[in-house]
Amino acid sequence: MRLSEFIVQEVDRIVDEWERFAATITPAANNMDSIALRDHAKVILLAASRDMNTAQTASEQQAKAEGEGAEKNPSLDQAAASHGELRHTVGFDLVQMTSEFRHLRATVIRLWVASLHAPEQAHFTDMIRFNEAIDEALAESTAAYAEQVNRSRDIFLAILGHDLRAPLQAVSMSTEMLVRKARLDADALNYVSAIKNGTRHMGSMVSDLLAFVRSRLGSQLPVERVTLDLGEACRAALAEARAGQPDCEPVLTVDGPVQGEWDRGLIHQLLQNLIGNALQHGSHSRVVTITLTGGAEQVLLSVHNRGTPIDEGSLATLFDPLVRSPSEDASLPGTSTSLGLGLFIVKEAVNAHDGTIEVTSTEAEGTTFTVTLPKKA
């Protein structure tokens, strides 16, 4: 009997074996009934049988083996993906889930071989096609499982970032009330200032973390446009930067009309991260300059600093999340985030406003980030 026929004929027997094996995967299986344990096993097997009966050329077989073939059996992929998602939900780890496919493969081959009187050439082809189908199902199931892991992690980070805001606000308000209500000597005022700076720094990290998670859970950061003066927004961001680094003296130049319709929170994060990045990586003996140039339909923002240039190899990943410059010194003040998210948030904020961002960095000219923001959507 050909393998595809054997699978259809003995599918219930094979699924019984699947269920018995899945029941041994504890503790996740302890509270699962027969339906949950069997899950998509029957659908996967029958879809694999149909796939084995589909005509396939040598070139198509090679492409499929390399994961590049055209999708011929969507029911197999859908069932396998659903299985991966559900196994993640009930608490199987990735090794446990993949072990189900290993056991399924071994069970089918063992039972089928035992039913054969003598091997034929066609049987070897059947085994190849069956392994291809199981490998495809395993790949889809693993991909779906990994996606659920990533989503769970992002949701956890979103909850963490949200919950951190309340204690940070309490610390910030307490320091403000302490300054107003208590008589503090010079040393105590220095301590309060350090607490305020630390709270501001942590607040920036939380904002970047939440923006990162929003970008992961959705296609783009949400934008609530209001009429905004970019010059005033820059001055506020610079005042905040100076509060954290009293010795810094960035220079702001505004040329032309710089009013437009932008998201206030995203623009604040964009400016905060660009200015913080320039102060952190710029030479302490050279001034950071911010230039705004307003046109009829857009505003050009440039942030320039002198210092060690960004090497060409790092430019390609400069805006990637969770990537920090090899030259970055976490002990230096002025960074708005130590999570490697600052420039990623800048890029996402620019994209959300349909703008563009470019960076140039040389020893002679320094480093310049240039952002173009349309004034209206």
In the chain, beta strands by DSSP E: 225-229, 251-255, 259-263, 289-294, 298-305, 356-362, 366-374
Q: Where in the chain are the domains?
A: 1-219, 225-374
Per CATH, the number for 225-374 is: 3.30.565.10
Q: Give the CA diameter of the chain.
A: 96
- Residue 181: burial class (beta carbons within 10 Å; 0-12, 13-18, 19+): exposed
Q: Which of 55-64, 227-236, 283-292, 346-355 is predicted least confidently?
A: 55-64
Look at residue 68 and tell me whether its pLDDT is greater than 90.
Answer: no
Give the per-residue pLDDT at 304: 94
Q: To 5 degrees, how large is the angle CA 305–CA 307–CA 313?
A: 100
- Would you say the C-alpha torsion 186, 192, 194, 196 has a positive or negative sign? negative
pLDDT digits (tens, 9 = 90+) for 79-123: 999 999 999 988 899 999 999 999 999 999 999 999 998 888 889
Query: What SS3 state is found at 273?
Result: helix
Q: What is the pTM of this model?
A: 0.56
How much is the pLDDT for 42? 95
Q: How confident is the model at residue 334 (pLDDT cuts 50, 70, 90)?
A: very low
Alpha helices per DSSP H over the chain: 3-9, 11-22, 34-38, 41-52, 58-65, 74-90, 94-115, 121-181, 186-217, 230-244, 264-281, 312-315, 342-352
